[in-house]
Amino acid sequence: MSTTTTKDHPHLAADFNRDEPRVNWHDETLWWVRAKRDIAAHKLPEWELLRETASQIKFNVLSNLSTYLEQFEANATKNGIIVHWAADAAEHNQIVHSLLEQRGITKMVKSKSMLTEECHLNDYLKDHGIDVIDSDLGERIVQLANEPPSHIVLPCIHKKKEEIGDIFHEHLGSAKGESDPKILTETARQHLREVFLTRRAALTGVNFAVAETGEFVICTNEGNADMGAHLAEIHIASMGIEKLIPERKHLGVFLRLLTRSATGQPITTYSSHFSKPQDGSEIHIIIVDNGRSIQLGREEFRNSLKCIRCGACMNTCPVYRKSGGHSYHTAVAGPIGSILAPNLDMKKYADLPFASTLCGSCSNVCPVKIDIHDQLYKWRQVIVKEGYSPKAKTMAMKAMALTLASPTLYRMGGKTGRLVFKYAPFAVNNKLNPWYNQREMPKAPDESFGEWYAKRKGAKNS
């Protein structure tokens, strides 16, 4: 690896892989969610048409984004929503803080927003004396565990119920050893109801914002975004610039795709449309760039901005399922996150596009038809060209290129390889060989294809 301070994906994944039964359990759980997605998708004969339509709407959005942003701002403002713009994470965090500070608010309840994870908002506010409580159950669990979410839709998918029981016992006073999901959820309900009823400020994410009407939509199953927003005097919504869609009717397409792709549900329990603030309260929306406009200009990676954050690519990804979300050391894990992260910091996230088998399963399930595995492949080329690829890998690739370019070297290498495999297998089957770490080494044949072919040709001719 180049000189990064954080551990890279292979090392973090190796840590996760130490507990084999847990890896298998993680793998099976996510595959079960993926299977539910398939059942839901196959129930709709128009599924492929929906995907294609969604993809085309998003292409249109990206090609007219500046117009839609201005249109949304004008309409939202007309509706009484106050619009803010943030060029980067720091500015976003400052805006949130100043809104709270002006009102003397020191406690906030927050609904799910991966954008605020990307901006490290919780840490920022904590440093400024603001107490933030995450209200999505999965997010609350990882928050109490002092961890980031490991999945964008299922934030604590990596945790066992016994571990959650221990966390709740320590922080929320549930009985020691209690691990029944029903009882634990009830404990969280009581705890968070108190939070909803006492917080003056609520922050939420945004699933979709409509340029035509100036409204925005938030999807939850728990109703936590609504409980927070409706009971607070100020509702702050954080939104990436790519969340816009042109018209209200387009919501019909995306709401049909989102949860079917995410969890296999036909729709979330709540799909809430915020258009105007209610009497006596304010709605503020922060439109955040944070590198998105740069990605928009990268023709080969622009498509990644079509993402609606369903998590289908993670659930289907064999690498994600077997290495866990935290191995990706970025807010959005898995295949799509590995395209988005290098845009923000190519050096820091140079490892992520390599954490893929390029099997294409992610692209196949993507509801907006992002060419995810192709983009991961393209990032690898950019990263190597820019000199951020791991040194050892670069050297090995150079050696391979040299060998493949020379028939003599190629034949010699093959012969040596077969001899080593046959007479000194220990020379390759050891921990010094990184290839061996995840794989059984093959048994070498006695002769190469070239030798076999020459012999066969000779026999035929004689």
Partner 1 sequence: MSREKILAAVKFNQPAALPLPDMEVLNTLTDVRTDLVSKYKTIATAGGSFVYEVNGFDEIKAIINNEFKPGVKIISALDELSDYIYAETVKHEDGHNFADVELTVLRTKLGVAENGALWLTEKDMGSRVLPFIAQHLAVVIGKDNFVPTMAQAYQVIGAADYGYGAFISGPSKTADIEQSLVIGAHGPRSLSVFILS
Q: Taking CB under 8 A as the criterion, which residues in 224-243 touch partner 1? A: 224, 226-227, 230-231, 241
By CB under 8 A, residue 90 contacts partner 1: no
- CB of 8 or CB of 134, closer to partner 1: 134
Answer for which of 4, 23, 91, 428 binds partner 1 (CB under 8 A) is 91
Residue 409 contacts residue 402 (beta carbons within 8 Å): yes
Reference 379, options 325, 425, 335; nearest CA is 335
- CB of 33 or CB of 355, closer to partner 1: 33
Q: If you search the block for the tokens 């820091």, which residue do you land on?
A: 348
Query: The tokens of 7 are what?
Result: 């551990």
Answer for which of 4, 97, 120, 223 binds partner 1 (CB under 8 A) is 223
Residue 355 gets which letter from DSSP?
S
Interacting positions 256-275 with partner 1 (CB under 8 A): 256, 263, 265-275
By CB under 8 A, residue 293 contacts partner 1: yes
Stretch of 291-299, 327-335, 361-369, 385-393 contacting partner 1, by CB under 8 A: 291-299
Answer for which of 75, 113, 116, 135 binds partner 1 (CB under 8 A) is 135
Reference 217, options 276, 269, 271, 287; nearest CA is 271
CB of 223 to partner 1, least distance (A): 3
Q: Rounded to whole angstroms, what are the CA distances from 45 to 38, 41, 96, 265?
A: 13, 8, 44, 16
Interacting positions 136-175 with partner 1 (CB under 8 A): 136-138, 141, 154-157, 159-161, 164
Q: What is the CA radius of gyration of the chain?
A: 25
The burial class, CB within 10 Å (0-12 / 13-18 / 19+), for 31 is middle
Residue 289 contacts residue 86 (beta carbons within 8 Å): yes
- CB of 170 or CB of 441, closer to partner 1: 170
Q: Which helix (H) or strand (E) holds 272?
A: strand 270-274
By CB under 8 A, residue 196 contacts partner 1: yes
Q: Kindly report the backbone phi and psi dihedral angles of residue 84, in degrees, each rounded to the nearest multiple of 5, phi listed first.
A: -120, 155
Longest Cα–Cα distance in the chain? 97
Q: d(Cα 368, Cα 59) in Å, to the nearest integer?
A: 10
By CB under 8 A, residue 216 contacts partner 1: no
Q: Kindly report the backbone phi and psi dihedral angles of residue 22, in degrees, each rounded to the nearest multiple of 5, phi listed first.
A: -70, -40
Interacting positions 299-328 with partner 1 (CB under 8 A): 299, 302
By CB under 8 A, residue 294 contacts partner 1: yes
Interacting positions 421-440 with partner 1 (CB under 8 A): none
CB of 109 to partner 1, least distance (A): 11
Kindly give the residue spans of alpha helices, DSSP state H, lying in 301-360. Answer: 312-316, 318-323, 334-344
CB of 22 to partner 1, least distance (A): 12
Q: d(Cα 361, Cα 363) in Å, to the nearest integer?
A: 5
CB of 224 to partner 1, least distance (A): 5
Residue 264 contacts residue 216 (beta carbons within 8 Å): no
- CB of 198 or CB of 394, closer to partner 1: 198
- CB of 187 or CB of 389, closer to partner 1: 187
Q: How many CA within 13 A on the CB side of residue 215?
A: 14
Beta bridge partners of 314: none
CB of 63 to partner 1, least distance (A): 4
Answer for which of 134, 166, 222, 371 binds partner 1 (CB under 8 A) is 222
Interacting positions 45-84 with partner 1 (CB under 8 A): 45-46, 49-50, 52-53, 56-57, 59-60, 62-66, 69-70
CB of 308 to partner 1, least distance (A): 15
Interacting positions 328-387 with partner 1 (CB under 8 A): none
Answer for which of 128, 147, 171, 246 binds partner 1 (CB under 8 A) is 246
Interacting positions 3-42 with partner 1 (CB under 8 A): 29, 32-33
